[in-house]
Amino acid sequence: MHEAGLIMEALKTIQKSAVENNIQQVTKITLSVGRLTMALPKALSFAFRILSQGTMFGGAELEIEQKELCLECCTCGVNFSPADIDFTCPECGSALIKILEGHELHILSYEGEADKIEGNCCPEVAASK
Ligand SMILES: [Zn+2]
């Protein structure tokens, strides 16, 4: 499943960041999904539910924002969002286009709960010992 791979990648990235920030439990994730990924939000949610079980993401809320495509014409430089899969420039008709946005999945934000660390958490204090 295509969506499972995308979710897996996203979770890996968030997990790395969460560990660095001492976050033990992630409670909410907001993803931005480009239309060109062809990923269906429903399938993403499903993959997330399966993959998050028993991990730090278990029970977290997943919010998905769908992102429209943003293209740039390489001939005249105009930016546009195609209505369908017709990727030709509306200004000059050129088919030489560049995808600016819409072909990937971004992690917009995530929220989590950090372990409460008392006292010895300052790296400067630890280093001066
Ligand atoms: Zn153009």
Model pLDDT for residues 86-129, shown as the tens digit of each residue = 889 999 999 999 999 898 899 999 999 886 555 444 444 444 43
The domain total for the chain is: 1
Contact 36, 102 (CB under 8 A): yes
Residue 33 lies in a domain: yes
Residue 86 lies in a domain: no
Between the CA of 102 and the centroid of ligand 1 the distance, in Å, is 19
User: What CATH code is carried by the domain that includes residue 31?
Assistant: 3.30.2320.50
Between the CA of 65 and the centroid of ligand 1 the distance, in Å, is 28
Residue 78 lies in a domain: no
Between the CA of 32 and the centroid of ligand 1 the distance, in Å, is 27
Between the CA of 72 and the centroid of ligand 1 the distance, in Å, is 8
Of residues 85 and 92, more confidently modeled: 92
Mean pLDDT, to the nearest integer, of 25-38? 93
Residue 34 lies in a domain: yes
Between the CA of 97 and the centroid of ligand 1 the distance, in Å, is 8
Residue 95 lies in a domain: no
Residue 41 lies in a domain: yes
Residue 94 lies in a domain: no
Tokens of 88: 């030709």
Query: For residue 56, what are the domain limits?
Result: 2-69+101-127
Collapsed DSSP state (helix, strand, coil) of residue 25: strand
**Distance between CA 58 and CA 50 in Å, rounded?**
9
Each residue's pLDDT tens digit, 33-65 = 998 898 999 999 999 999 999 999 999 999 999
CA torsion sign for 15, 20, 21, 23 is positive
Residue 90 lies in a domain: no
pTM of the model: 0.76
**Distance between CA 100 and CA 67 in Å, rounded?**
12
